[in-house]
Amino acid sequence: MTEFLASLLHALATMIGRLPWPLQRALGDGLGRLVRAAGVRESVVALRNLELAYPDMPAAERAALHAEVIRTTGRQAFETLRLWTRPHAENLALIREQSGVELFEDALAAGRGVIVVAPHHGNWELLNQWLAARTPLAILYKAPESAVGEAFLRRVRADADQVTQVRAEGPGIRQLFKVLKAGGVVGILPDQQPKAGDGVFAPFFGIQALTMTLVSRLAERSGATVLFASCERIDDDLGFALRFDAASAALSGADIEASVAALNAGVEHMARRAPAQYQWTYKRFTLRPPGSGEGNPYRDLEHGRR
């Protein structure tokens, strides 16, 4: 039954993904307007995050950025269905610009393993497909609560013979170490808040944010090269720029606090480069440093207050 329902979801996604892009873009823009007008949770959270990250930005400018963030989020929903359900060669032709690709090629050739740090920025699904077209890789993911949802994701994400999807659990982490020790490539989305006790606090947009230590531990213990990567949108006609950036040496060091701070600094650099393309709809700062006296900045939103 699970596979049958996943097949139905895939068929629906394919129908939507095959619509002409101008229509998908218009639907995405309409969805964004509806989400903002209705005060949907993601829209309200995004605005609070922008207030936290850009406290000195004039209110009118922040409101305009918020509108752009939600519009981009609406478009991305349709864009991703398109990428999931069309031939990868067709998708990869959407990459119009490239920078820093030599960093990836050199790291791959060195044979010491590569950790591709891919924040929720631009379209990470297109990045997965670009990587899979060049090398086998393992990508870490948090399994959906729904078995149908997980079966669907396994159908649509990159090439089955090139991509190993690894659950963010103990056995999966050990598998990542093995991949890196063999000189392989691992992809990690680094900017979700871990559980209390599973990370350390480090600055992110000037705010202490509980941050995963996994990238730091993998890099320090494996000796792999760490690179930041994204596929950023560069026009309204489905054009993307593939960008690789070198990570600070501190990220691979033994000082865990300095390493995690370097991780957040790299993510922040990417987000500031194109802030409307970052995933501001996620509650990044709910957990506060012990003893700080700070409260959950989203608590009033959860109770319907602004």
Query: pLDDT tens digits, residue range 149-167?
Result: 888 888 887 666 788 888 8
What pLDDT is attached to residue 306?
46
CATH number, residue 18: 3.40.1130
**pLDDT surpasses 60 at 9:** yes
* pLDDT reading at 229 higher than 70: yes
SS (H, E, C) 219-250: HHHHCCEEEEEEEEEEECCCEEEEEEEECCHH
Q: What is the pLDDT of residues 197-216, one digit of tens each?
A: 789 999 999 999 999 999 99
Mean predicted confidence (pLDDT) in 117-133? 95
In the prediction, which pLDDT does 159 show? Answer: 66
- The listed range with the strongest mean pLDDT (33-37, 193-197, 302-306) is 33-37
What pLDDT shows up at residue 303? 55
Domain span at 153: 2-302
E strands of 159-206, at which residues?
163-167, 185-188, 199-204
177: buried, middle or exposed (CB in 10 Å: 19+, 13-18, 0-12)?
middle
Token digits of residue 160? 């089955």
List all residues 6 or more positions away from 139 whose beta carbon is below 8 Å from its beta carbon: 128, 157, 158, 163, 164, 165, 166, 186, 187, 188
CA dihedral 74, 3, 12, 160 (to 10 degrees): 70
Q: What is the pLDDT of residues 235-258, one digit of tens each?
A: 888 999 999 999 999 999 999 999
What number is the average pLDDT over the span 99-127? 97
pLDDT tens-digit series, residues 20-46: 999 999 999 999 999 999 999 999 999
Structural domains counted in the chain: 1
Nearest to 57 by CA among 49, 71, 32: 49
pLDDT at 165 (0 to 100): 87
What is the model's pLDDT at position 143? 73
Q: Is the pLDDT at 233 greater than 90, yes or no?
A: yes
For residue 305, what pLDDT is reported?
A: 46
Q: What is the pLDDT of residue 1?
A: 83
Task: Find the mean pLDDT for residues 79-103.
Answer: 96
